[in-house]
Structure 1
Amino acid sequence: MPHFGMHIGLRYDIIGEYASLLLAILLLVFMSLTKPKKSKSYKFLVLGVLTAIVATATQIMIVEVASNVSVYYNRSTFTALLTFFLVLYAAILVLIFNYINLMSEKRLKKRSVIIMLYVSIALFYFSGVVYQVAMKSLYFVRTDGIDITHFTTFYCMMGMLCAVICFIVVMIRRRTIARIVIRGVLIVVPLDIIVLILQIIDKKAIFSASTYVIPLVAFYLLFHSNPYDEDTGCQNVSAMESRFITDIRRNRFFYLAYIDFPQLTDTSFSPDYEMLSIEMARVCREIERISRKIQLYRISFGTYMALIETKERSDAQNYSEQMRDILDAFHDRTEDHFHYFLGVCGDSRRFSSVGNKWTQLFMMYIKETKHIDGENVYYFANGSDFRDFDEIYKIEQTLLDVRMKMDAEDERIICYAQPIYSVDKDEFRSAEALMRLHIDGKMIPPDMFIPIAERNNCIHALTVIMIHKVCKAVENLSMEYDFDAITINCSTADFTDKTFYKEILDIIHGYNIDQKMIRLELTESMMAENYEAVKHNMDMLNREGIHLYMDDFGTGYSNLERVVDVPVQTIKFDKSLLYKSIKDDRVDDIISYMIEFFKKNGFVTLIEGVEDESQKKYSIDRGFDYIQGYHYAKPGPIESLSKYFKHK
């Protein structure tokens, strides 16, 4: 037991406070080294650790004075020290309470409740402090030292009160708080209360700092410490994001190298993991030894990113080429000859505006466009790559926003339409609705944004919005013009949901139109994906009188038996068949046979892509019922159909 000041008299054992102070300082060092993600909860944790260090140091000073009253004691200074500690202790309690509150997935909507709780506790706490100071009852000066029993009892009682309130709030909000947080509270809060009770009972030892330092350490270890991969010696993506943001804020110019081993992400491939872990660690160490300016991070198994802190493109290229040499050597010496993709990019202005997420997406885009299976690829991105990806990224973000808002009137989704000519009636009787995406004054064609929408699960939102827009247009046009229907293209993703037909009918019934004036186009390839679900939706729509088209017939999936088996009424021949049949008599014979077959079985036939007089003549001669193409009309805003349909 250490002795402070006097060799006889009142003494306090504060080894626990010194241990807590050392632990808090070490925690602050670890936090600065690992650089966790700077989330709001993490900022509260940092403030909590800093306050804990000051509070513990203040507590040690208080005990030193209390144990050496003849040397250090001054009533005003000592009272100020006690008051300062009590303020710090209150701040620690508030920071810990706020931290736990931020762990909730759903923040408390009624902030007034939390504010009233804070105000009530603060009034109670500081009223007690003022009373204790005014009554001079926080401590008692004795000939052998200072008795601070009342002081420790007071703040320990306040600590227990706040611990109980925190526990109650967590239990009330347990449905919105992660299970690991609840378990932590269930363990830490009772232990804290026990330690605080022991502190009140024990008159000679001071160890209360452990009640707030240890929870702070637990919070860090559970929620913020970056996992260290002992095989490769790399930190994870959270550490990278922290370094990334720090460099941007300090205006440091840097490049990023994206290293990917495609074979390691292939689930069908089973490498020797023991050998591989040794080799990967060797590769990582060799890359880090190139320069201190290179920081390597593991994104996932088989994927790494290196942050190269340099302003000069020539230096970045030099470092990248050295990385390539290391990866080439790795490829050559491994039994499985792992091939790699190494992509490098650098443009701090873009990084600062869109962040690390944009960077990772960009590097994956570069990999997809430049990677060749079975070959090692090294690519240094240039300005045109940024511009191309910028457009794709902008489309992707727009589509995600469209999906989130699900606004039937979304002005970014433009409804175009192309009239369809009826050969028998010699007039336009219907039209095909065509989707366009409008971003920053530019019209994006479907072949550019539809694949992105399908990849990001946004296609359903686009379909729903298009149905709304077409129904509204039909409602307006049908008041003055005579026409049969407008068709809408549907995606595979929509029709594989067995309840999709209900959603379509609900939308149509929300407008003052005959539901038969809305028709749907499906492709043959859709039925190859999930035939039963697609056919179920088709059957249900057909019962309601919704006319169905088989789109793109003849593009490689043609199966006459399947086409006849589903309830489609119109067969829409792909334009490629038209172009081939004009040049090849054999294809012409097949087309003629299929038209005869379909008509004999009650189907309506339609040909698309007719662009000149010869193609028009061929289509009419072969007996197509409907013709669609630029020769008759180009696509335009759906409102322009009034130029093609007859007045009632």
Structure 2
Amino acid sequence: MVHNYWFEIAAFILELTIGYMLLFRHTITLPYNGIFRKLYACCFITTLSALIQALLEDYINYSGKNIADYIIILNVLSMIFFYTHILCCTFSAYYECSVLSIKVNETIIKLLLNVPSVIAIVTISLNPFLSTVFNIDPVLGYQRRAFLILLYLVAFYYLIFTLVIIIAYGQNIRRDKRIAFTLLPFIPFFGTVIQYFYRYSGVGNFFMALLVLVMYITIESPADYIDYVTGLQNQNALFTNFSVAMSRKKPISIITIAIERIDAWDKEFGTEHTNLLILELSSYLIHLSKNVSVYSLGRGKFALYISSENFWANMRMAELLAYSILERFESSFDITAANKVIPAKRICLYNCPEDIDNANLLQKAMLSEATAVLPKGKDYLTIEDIDTTTNDKERLIATSIQSLYENGTVYLSFLPEFNTSLEIYDSVKTELTMYIPEIGYVNSRSLISVAEKYGLIIGFYDYILESLFKMIRDNHLMAYGVKSVEIVMPVSFLLKKNKAVKLVNLASQYDIPPKLICFELAKNSMLKFDGVIVENMKAISSAGFRFILENYGNGYTNASALIDMPIYAVTIDKFLTGTAINSELAHKILSCTITYLKEFDLQVKAEHIETKASMEYALMLGCDYLQGYYFSKPLKIAELTEFLRKGGLQE
């Protein structure tokens, strides 16, 4: 019977395509890359032998000519086909186990994978003597034998084995890829079923080649693992290699290096100069050490991956590399002839415990690193220092924010501020606190940060402002002598046009003078300091509202903000006030700072006053307002009015 060899040709073309990508495209070198290449080689030989056999048989049938040793050639090609086809099943099962970092007893896994393959190969090897699998008749052509069913059973065994092992142990990969790997074995299975009923269709090889192609696209493709700007492996490769290393109980250390304020550099110097900076930094990291792999974690962010046989060596190398990078980039880094930046400010070191068997830990740690606080006295972070549940918490907070203003509930508390010149409480600071059963209390900074990240901030903040204005009116705060009510303002609010008009309308609606409301700018607002923010601030200030600059002297809250922005008052960073009590140098710096701030006619507020000593020290410095738990805890609106009615807790 004449073969339908179009499927064989299609399979051969697919294999040539994959071979081209493997040989001539820059692919990732992953720990299991060698297994994939063996799988590809077996599949290519299977397809080639089947195609040659089909073409040869069709040539004989069409031409009527005979070829010397024709039967022997067909037998050899068939033997090669069956050998490599069984190996394809074996290597595909090996490949999936390797990619998923299946952690089962290695000896047992090898036995479960190799024994069926050995049985099949022995059965095929006996075919020349006993015709166990097939027989090629000069007249009738290819004929199946009884033991061929054994090969089908072995292929079915590998399908079941892969499914069971993935369901039971495949926990080291994202859910979407885990589902994909569960479905992959069914591709050759369907082809085998069709081939069984239509023996001359040649569809079995096509489906096997299709499996290899899908595996290449899913796992080996450079698009998933290569950052094309730097040419470095990306975070997918990092997480995969991390998973494999941890499954083998290898100690791992990772250093992350980031260029700070990269968006600001784009605006100030242009993306071309910033890209040159990124490339120069990546080039420096690549040549830093032969024993360290460099990964790109995003634009301007890199990771150095250190893996050796003992934990102490990892720690020591990470420490040396961290200090080398810091020393290199302590000096100014040129991007233009006139402008300098320092690209490496934060070095984070992750020392992963030996009992970790899931790359999700590293992925969560890398995502949570930006919000992690560096412990005192340490130059790096460990995995224990990082709250890896940050993203889960953020999703809970975002859900609660949505229900917060949809259900019409909001929880505001107030901190009274002591006027040192009049010795009265005539200012209050607004705090927003939310209680979420799963994670406890969440402060206003975290709520606003999550609301900005999840695109909820405008509606959320509008509702908070309206709730605050309503409380001020309904509880007659001005009648108790309150002259200033502070509330934090998110930077995203200042990036929206026409907010000044809406604020004026809102204040008019609740009969509140704009000068009563003071918007507090977080230091993070300075990170996106640009003309749009300044213009909107000036418009809001012209309408009568006032602005307070938080934590002056820390981060980006510096003198340039005082010059360009309409600032009414500043708060002093609590670190400065706490340090200055016991440090003569810090005291001199703080005294001079407050003196020149007052020359700008700015009010100076000291926050987080918790002891009598810090209160007396702030008074001595000449601060205009004091606020902290020494005077009062956060109060509900009814408690605040009672506090103000009694004149506060005077010492």
Which TM-score applies when normalising by structure 1?
A: 0.48
In our comparison, the structure showing a higher alpha carbon Rg is 1
TM-score (norm 2): 0.48
